[in-house]
Amino acid sequence: MLRAKEIHLASRPHGEPTPENFRTVEIDLPELQDGQILVRNIVMSVDPYMRGRMNDVKSYVPPFQVDAPLDGGAVGEVVETRSDAFAVGDAVLHGKGWRDTAVLDGRSAMKVDLDKGSPSAYLGALGLTGLTAYVGLTAVAQFKPGDVVFVSGAAGAVGSLVGQIAKAMGASRVIGSAGSKAKVARLLELGFDAAFDYHDGSVTKQLAEAAPDGIDVYFDNVGGDHLEAAIASMNKNGRIALCGAISQYNSTEATPAPRNLALAIGKELMLKGFIAGSYQHLAGEFSEKMATWLADNVIEWDETVVEGIDNAPQAFIGLLRGENTGKMIVSI
Amino acid sequence: MLRAKEIHLASRPHGEPTPENFRTVEIDLPELQDGQILVRNIVMSVDPYMRGRMNDVKSYVPPFQVDAPLDGGAVGEVVETRSDAFAVGDAVLHGKGWRDTAVLDGRSAMKVDLDKGSPSAYLGALGLTGLTAYVGLTAVAQFKPGDVVFVSGAAGAVGSLVGQIAKAMGASRVIGSAGSKAKVARLLELGFDAAFDYHDGSVTKQLAEAAPDGIDVYFDNVGGDHLEAAIASMNKNGRIALCGAISQYNSTEATPAPRNLALAIGKELMLKGFIAGSYQHLAGEFSEKMATWLADNVIEWDETVVEGIDNAPQAFIGLLRGENTGKMIVSI
């Protein structure tokens, strides 16, 4: 009988998650049924949205259950198959991360070509992370060439792509905020026109200095004071894509911002929340462009890799603390 | 020499305006120049947006100047003319309210037909107030038949039209909030499916009870806790037209709401600020529909009339306190 290691949710975090909220469990895997495949995971993704699923609240994805395995994006290799659609050795993208080995229905896995991208790229630039950046900027925030773009959490997986895509598509100026001097330096290397560390003082003031002519588009990964700062700097008819609110994910109280939302009336601003899954119709257009940008080195792709399934909880906790540059990946 | 009475801004209000912020001034009117007309005002408008113009801040309209006359919408009768476009006796809509008599460039006045609507109707249902309600609901909030619509400040000039237009255009349910039992009763008479007094308890709770299946569109005249309540009750892909924030106009501190804006991500909500002046291209379509609705008694139109130019400041102060039902008008 095959054994597998899974990470379970031991208890719901209150505020910042701690290692005690997670438990590593060894289980016996069942025999494969018709149509199923056995996958040895190579890499798995930890993402900010998972924090929301650890709370017992209804959201766009159902909450994780206590004493059950977590899940999320992963890429692995088929090691046994009872599905005609897959052969042993195929690389697949699927949703059963947070474990070293997974039994999957073949219909819930997608073959990927490792000649075109690394396993982790399919969790990142070529995957849902990249799609999030692309559709948020283009379809949600209605980016047009010449726009001044501000992105928060800019050294994160989504943020670093947003800024680079904006530059590639003709932004007149791209500004990023991040949480350390090293990240700010990295943003400037990636082609951001300006970047600042939000620890260095008022976000509103730093953004106003970085964007003397205001901003037209804001891609919000952070919420809170960043959103307030963006509204203050927004030009008439500005557009805001609400993608994440990482500043609030560990909050135990409601966040009293933005306090200046009424400015949206006179400035005729648009704010739009989105989840990338609603824009799958743009996945083809996105994949084509992203593959070209990566091949031409127009867009660079950073990863922070944590080794070992046992360290996945620590990778996730570190992600929420901003310990990553680019995509946080667990190598299994 | 002709004398005229004007209301000047004596000082900028701090918080709620007081009578001392206004001054009645008698002036000598200059001789008419070529192209000018002399207009005896019949009615003038006081509107919530004027409160913002009394602060010394840049907005979509420049601030009022201290020791200078206020201005705003008015309808009057031409009593003298040096413009070929106007004859004595013509009724005109123009922007020099807050005075009993005005000298105007003919190009800044628009003839109106008093057979089709009363002077005050051209400041209200047939004017910018009506256009605001119509474009906010249709073009901004992208209303579609079957939507559940919530409007705050629903007994006000814009709000009462929004609710009635939504019903006329096929809303499945229209809910209004207002500031007194009498106003709530009036909303039910006007065809609102549900209405509540925001003094009666938590807006979030009252709205949730009035909208058991959630809301699809929110027309925001109030901001603050109303906006927070609407976000909480919004269905997936809901749309919010940000028209006004009367709860905040007299605030001397920033308002710490909505605290739940991050819900807009998972619900994929759209919030859009607007001013009606940006939707003049819809004025023709609006006028036609509104004239029909009024003629067919599909839409009723409430006014609160204050008599006398000297009482205009009191009318404005009362408007911000919610002493009006429907459009607040000063009869001169």
Which member of B227, B259, B263 has the closest CB to residue A256?
B259
Residue B214 makes CB contacts below 8 A (sequence gap 6+) with: B148, B233, B234, B235, B238
**pLDDT confidence bin for A252, thresholds 50/70/90:** low
Q: Do B223 and A262 touch (CB under 8 A)?
A: yes
pLDDT tens string A214-231? 999 999 999 989 999 999
Least Cα distance to A96 among A104, A85, A87 occurs for A104
Distance CA A142, CA A147 (A): 10
Q: Do A266 and B59 touch (CB under 8 A)?
A: yes
Instruction: Write the DSSP string, A206-231.
Output: HHHHH-TT-EEEEEESS-HHHHHHHH
CATH 3.90.180.10-classified regions of chain B: 3-121+301-331
- Mutation choice for B interface testing from A58, A239, A265 by most B CBs within 10 A: A265
Show the tokens assigned to B67: 């020791």
Show the tokens assigned to B261: 């804006």
Q: Report strand pairing: B101-105 vs B173-178.
A: unpaired
| A252 CB neighbour count, 10 Å cutoff | 8
Residues of A in contact with B254 (CB under 8 A): 259-260
Q: Which residues pair with B104 in a beta bridge?
A: B37
Task: Output the CA–CA distances (angstroms, integers) from residue B261 to A53, A226, A254, A278, B163, in the order listed.
Answer: 18, 13, 10, 19, 24
Residue A168's H or E segment, with its range, is helix A157-168
Q: Do B271 and A259 touch (CB under 8 A)?
A: no
Q: Do B273 and A265 touch (CB under 8 A)?
A: yes
Judged against a pLDDT cut of 80, whether residue A107 lies above it is answered with yes
CA atoms within 13 A on the CB side of B325: 14
Judged against a pLDDT cut of 80, whether residue A238 lies above it is answered with yes
Q: Report strand pairing: B74-81 vs A234-242.
A: unpaired
- Mutation choice for B interface testing from A204, A239, A268, A275 by most B CBs within 10 A: A268
Q: Do B268 and A266 touch (CB under 8 A)?
A: no
Show the tokens assigned to B153: 């400040």
State the burial class of residue A288 (Cβ atoms within 10 Å of its Cβ: 0-12, 13-18, 19+). Answer: exposed
CATH 3.40.190.170 given to domain A3-124+302-331: no
Distance CA A319, CA A327 (A): 9
Q: Do B265 and A244 touch (CB under 8 A)?
A: yes
Least Cα distance to A102 among A112, A92, A115 occurs for A92
CATH assignment, B3-121+301-331: 3.90.180.10
CA distance A269 to chain B (A): 5
Distance CA A297, CA B10 (A): 63
Distance CA A192, CA A184 (A): 9
Q: Do A273 and B257 touch (CB under 8 A)?
A: no
Whether this prediction's pTM lies above 0.90 is answered by: no
Judged against a pLDDT cut of 80, whether residue B251 lies above it is answered with no
Judged against a pLDDT cut of 70, whether residue A80 lies above it is answered with yes
Judged against a pLDDT cut of 70, whether residue B225 lies above it is answered with yes
Least Cα distance to A230 among A255, A200, A199, A264 occurs for A264
CA distance A69 to chain B (A): 23
- Mutation choice for A interface testing from B140, B261, B267 by most A CBs within 10 A: B261
**pLDDT confidence bin for A116, thresholds 50/70/90:** confident
What ipTM is given for this predicted complex? 0.86
Residues of B in contact with A264 (CB under 8 A): 242, 271-273
Stretch B166-191: mean pLDDT, rounded?
Answer: 97
Residues of A in contact with B158 (CB under 8 A): none
Residue B209's H or E segment, with its range, is helix B203-210
- Mutation choice for B interface testing from A152, A242, A243, A248 by most B CBs within 10 A: A242
Judged against a pLDDT cut of 70, whether residue B4 lies above it is answered with yes
Show the tokens assigned to B233: 């009750």
Residue A31 makes CB contacts below 8 A (sequence gap 6+) with: none
Judged against a pLDDT cut of 70, whether residue B254 lies above it is answered with no
Least Cα distance to B95 among B25, B44, B164, B149 occurs for B44
pLDDT tens string A19-78? 999 999 999 999 999 999 999 999 999 998 899 899 988 766 789 999 999 999 999 999
Show the tokens assigned to B290: 């509104």
Least Cα distance to B63 among B23, B12, B109, B98 occurs for B12
CA distance B229 to chain A (A): 13
CATH 3.40.50.720-classified regions of chain B: 128-277
CATH assignment, B128-277: 3.40.50.720
Q: Report strand pairing: B36-45 vs B173-178.
A: unpaired
CATH 3.90.180.10-classified regions of chain A: 3-124+302-331
Q: Do A270 and B269 touch (CB under 8 A)?
A: no
Using beta carbons and an 8 Å cutoff, which residues of A are at the interface with B? 52, 59-60, 223, 227, 236, 242-245, 248, 254-275, 278
